[in-house]
Amino acid sequence: MLALQGKTAVVTGAGRGIGRAEAVELARLGASVVVNDYGQPEPAEDVAAQIRAAGGQAIAHLGDVADFEQARELVQLAVDTYGQLDILVNNAGILRDRMVFSMSEDEWDSVIRVHLKGHFNTTHFAAAHWRERSKAAGGAVYGRVINTSSEAFVAGSPGQPNYAAAKGGIVGLTTSTAMALAKYGVTANAICPRARTGMTEDVFAGVEVPEGEGLDPLAPEHVSPLVGYLASPAAAKVNGQLLVVHGGMVAVLDRPKVAVKFDTAKDVFSHEELDEQLSPYFAERPANETFAAVEVLGLKKG
């Protein structure tokens, strides 16, 4: 039996790029897939047709996941068509890159809306579905949430304050969801994928496609197997995690840790005491050693 036989998945932003590869992989593993994409109908319809031509089950949904009601309709479509929802892959997103001092209000709002609100909307309705099923069953059910964060959040991308903020928010949403839904049998994890897609063509414009028969290290097909794994029963013990994936490599990121702690000798810190304790510490700390983990950008296979 295939790993996801009998399961139903929703993949947002699945008309192209990473989402397309994820939808195809989930279908290859046996899942029935609702292929969501916003805008022109052809991309989502083409992916659904490709899945059906390969012997799988798929339908297209053309709604905007950042719209609360359309997100509800997306989850309901999966339930009405295939009986229930088992897997939610949140991938839909846009880019509006600009330095923080040049960014417009709309460039900020639109990215936060599509990425962060879009992730919340679908997760809200999927979580309500699983909670009701769990109550009816009197126990745990099968549920998987795979969210899409980014190295831009981890490394603090200077030209993407809106995108980095949205992707950081998605990590917070993911860990909160993981804690809230664990008792219902549902896991929630986030990935930081790196791939050459229509959305990132400017980001990776200077990265050449290697010659030869090998798969491009930035191909979305390097990302989709991890999503298939996280969606499967094999990943039942993987919950609340953040994983970087690209080019034949998967890295599990550790949670933040306390580097050092300072205590006041009195009841309340004074400015002078904070200066005496913190200033020497930061004077010795390397200037580029911040909360951002820029070294993640250097990860590669091998």
Active site residues: 150, 163, 167
Which residues is 32 bridged to in the sheet? 8
Cβ pair 91, 148 in contact under 8 A: yes
How far, rounded to the nearest angstrom, does the alpha carbon of residue 205 sit from its chain's CA centroid? 23
Residue 32 near residue 7, CB atoms below 8 Å: yes
